[in-house]
Amino acid sequence: MSILVFGHKNPDTDTICSAIAYAELKGKLGKDVKPVRLGEINEETKFALDYFKVEKPELVENVAGKKIILVDHNERTQTADGFEEAKVLELVDHHRISNFNVDEPLTVRMSPVGCTATIILNLFRENNLVPSKKTAGLMLSAIISDTLLFKSPTCTEHDIKAGKALGEIAGVDPQKYGLEMLKAGTALGGKSEAELINMDMKTFEIDGVKVGVAQVNTVNEAELLEKKEKLISEMNDIISKDGLKFFLFIITNILSNDSIGIVAGEGNGIIEKAFNVKVENSLVTLKGVVSRKKQVIPPLTKAIQSL
């Protein structure tokens, strides 16, 4: 029976491509490891798989009784059903460790880098191996996705070097290919306002104040700003339902690496203080902001704590 390797639920490009890459590495080391996925792939990942002519991994919903390897996640809420009845052999990840409990010692490789694929390239090298051309292309795609083409503050020097090396193996120009891939991932046409807000929505509780922050990437903010009133109406519904103080919807332009925020609820004062900007007509300009984790939540936290 093959060992299964997979990333998180609601898969992104790093989760899918790192599972494929790690299965290839283990295969070269003589292990029978098969990449699988826990959900539907997104448009960006589809572009990468199509470009490098790789089939999407098989869908698996329950891993009870299986031997498994986790990549790109470790928290219990993000992993497969049946986790408690599986035997966890390995973990390769770049996130914090939280709610990950296992009965037996296992092999773990984690680094605070921008992308799991960067760690996996290191593991190839430690074994004096090189990923195949296709797999190098997918690993490059993962790094581009997680680091927004090397521009996110989560990107490290290791990710940049890995991306360059993988681009050479794959025979593609990271900048040119990367923009195409990111654009493919921003195909938002046809999505309803509720779908846009729920694509990547999280709520946070800071000093007892609950706030919602959603984010989408785009190359055309105008088409989203046209929907401003309907988006605010959706955001107000979530504010009432979840008891939030305010909701910030961040539209990030992946070409300019700037964002525009749409604000609903009682957020103007906090947001103006956090980012030292004016909210006008429910809109706020966030120059150079691309990372919710590193550039939005910390200043919001400070502003709320100083209320």
Give the pair of three-digit tokens for residue 45: 């990942």
> C-beta of 169: minimal distance to a second copy in Å?
22
- For residue 35, the cross-strand partners are 5
State yes or no: residue 3 binds a second copy (CB under 8 A).
Answer: no
State yes or no: residue 29 binds a second copy (CB under 8 A).
Answer: no
d(CA 136, CA 123): 13
Give the pair of three-digit tokens for residue 77: 């809420």
**Binders in 174-233 for a second copy, by CB under 8 A:** none
d(CA 88, CA 94): 17
State yes or no: residue 112 binds a second copy (CB under 8 A).
Answer: yes
CA nearest 215: which of 184, 259, 182?
259
State yes or no: residue 96 binds a second copy (CB under 8 A).
Answer: yes
> C-beta of 157: minimal distance to a second copy in Å?
15
d(CA 52, CA 47): 9
Q: Segment near a second copy (CB under 8 A), from 109-117, 142-150, 187-195, 254-262?
A: 109-117
Where would I find the H helices in 35-156?
A: 43-51, 116-126, 133-147
Q: Which is nearer to a second copy, 3 or 184 (CB)?
A: 3
State yes or no: residue 285 binds a second copy (CB under 8 A).
Answer: no
State yes or no: residue 307 binds a second copy (CB under 8 A).
Answer: no
Give the pair of three-digit tokens for residue 33: 């490891």
Is 7:36 a contact under the CB 8 Å cutoff?
no
**Binders in 123-162 for a second copy, by CB under 8 A:** 126
Judged by CB under 8 A, the residue of 46, 109, 191, 227 near a second copy is 109
Contact positions vs a second copy (CB under 8 A): 94-112, 126
